[in-house]
Structure 1
Amino acid sequence: MEQVISFFNYIMNSQEIIQTGGLLAIILIVYIENGLFFGFFLPGDYLLFLSGVFCSTKLLDVSLVSLFSGIFLAAVLGTYTGYISGRFFGDKIENKKDSLFFKQKYISKTQKYFEKYGSRTLIIARFLPIVRTFAPIMAGLVKMNFFRFSLYNFIGGFIWVFVLVGGGYILGINYPGLIHYVHYIIFFFLAVTTFTVLRGYFSAKKEMEEV
């Protein structure tokens, strides 16, 4: 039991992941968090930001190009994995009978929502924990056009990695002492993302009711 707790403490600790696991661990976590439904709890935004900071201060001994390329590829492939799982294994959900917690109208409403706001959803979802994991699965479930999905997968992935990794790198270069305030950075990201997720949830719920 202690080993299980230690493992979860490790994968939730972005600083330890970066310092002990290096680029490989970062890539693996980004891949899982971006498309496998059980990875929704993994650190995403602040892992990218801190990897940029650590890269600039040489605590993560990789080039910025390698870091950016690895994370971008992991994000794109992870999202494709979510899309494919939703598209080819979503029949069970589509054929599921209505119950207290599930209604087929939710699927039809979601499909209309993606048809109307699909591009915006996939890009904005990159910056929303939990939503980032389930958005590509839902896009596959409602059979969003693959080429359209691919376009916004690449655009969203690039913007997400560029903003967070690039932002962390630039701040690390200009303010190397930032490395001593890692915990405050994490708390800041948690506060911002929690607020954003809640706001996005209620906004999406209202829009879904109007679709």
Structure 2
Amino acid sequence: MTAPLALPPSSQLAVNVLDAQSLLTAFGVLGVGVVLFAETGLLIGFFLPGDSLLFTAGLLCTGGAGRGVHLSLGPLLLAAAVGALAGAQCGFVLGRRAGGALLARSRSRRLAEGARRAEELLGRYGHAKAIVLARFVPVVRTVLNPLAGALGVPARTFTLWQVAGGLVWSIGLTLAGYALGSSIPDVDRCLLPLVAVIVVLSLLPLAAELLRSRRSARTEEARG
């Protein structure tokens, strides 16, 4: 009589899609590319942890975090860049073809808020700066791509600046995690606080730009 097939415990099968380390443990480098594509190209991926995923993946390349999980830096950088760039371009094409219908059908308050902020970015900073800044804002980086397509942003302009912003975001956060993991021993003991810090730091370019814009507006009002 054939022995029954042994199955792994359910705890090993479960994957928390909101937890970067759980995703990396389950899917490795391939998971990074897929998650970034979904987050930046498909509206259903707005909740995925892009920032923390990139930073944590960089840490795991050093072997200093995530017990039993180790990633290779070269393939990781390639997967991150391809996922981020292909996803954004896919979102733009979907927005160009479907217009605003994709966003209009969504009942998610977070998506609606993200769409509002994305439209504000495009109106306030122009296409180039808005496309780059949006990469560093969760939800906004998901919504801005189809919104840019729906609003008729020129394809050449969008492609140029989404590539520039996508490379800075995906490769920059990954290398930041790798550099920190290489320089700090036992970095896994403070992994969660570090991920929180890097997410906050990723928002600094947008915060600095907003502050500069407000100061410029006040100066113009004072002159007027």
Residue 167 (structure 1) shift: 0.5
1:19 corresponds to which residue?
Answer: 25
Change (3 A) 1:93 1:23: closer
Which contiguous aligned blocks of 4+ residues in structure 1 show a shift greater than 6 angstroms?
Answer: 93-96, 109-112, 193-204
The runs of 5 or more residues in structure 2 that have no matched partner are 1-9, 106-111, 214-224
TM-score (norm 1): 0.75
1:152 corresponds to which residue?
Answer: 161
* Equivalent residues of 2:55, 2:198 under 8 A apart: no
Aligned-pair identity (%): 25
TM-score (norm 2): 0.71
1:121 corresponds to which residue?
Answer: 130
Residue 198 (structure 1) shift: 9.1
1:47 maps onto 2:53 in alignment: yes
* Equivalent residues of 2:85, 2:163 under 8 A apart: yes
Out of 144, 159, 182, the position equivalent to 1:173 is 182
2: CA distance, partners of 1:182 / 1:94: 35
1:83 corresponds to which residue?
Answer: 92
Change (3 A) 1:79 1:93: closer
Name the aligned partner's letter for residue 138 of structure 2.
P
Q: Which of structures 1 and 2 has the bigger CA Rg?
A: 2
Q: Equivalences for 1:1-211 in 2 at 5 Å?
A: 10-57=16-63, 60-90=69-99, 92=101, 113=123, 117-189=126-198
1:207 corresponds to which residue?
Answer: none
1: CA distance, partners of 2:75 / 2:34: 14
Residue 66 (structure 1) shift: 0.8
Q: Aligned Cα RMSD in Å?
A: 3.6
Three-state SS of the structure 2 residue aligned to 1:34 is helix
Q: How many residue pairs get matched?
A: 190
Larger mean CA deviation between 77-86 and 51-60 belongs to 51-60
2: CA distance, partners of 1:197 / 1:112: 13
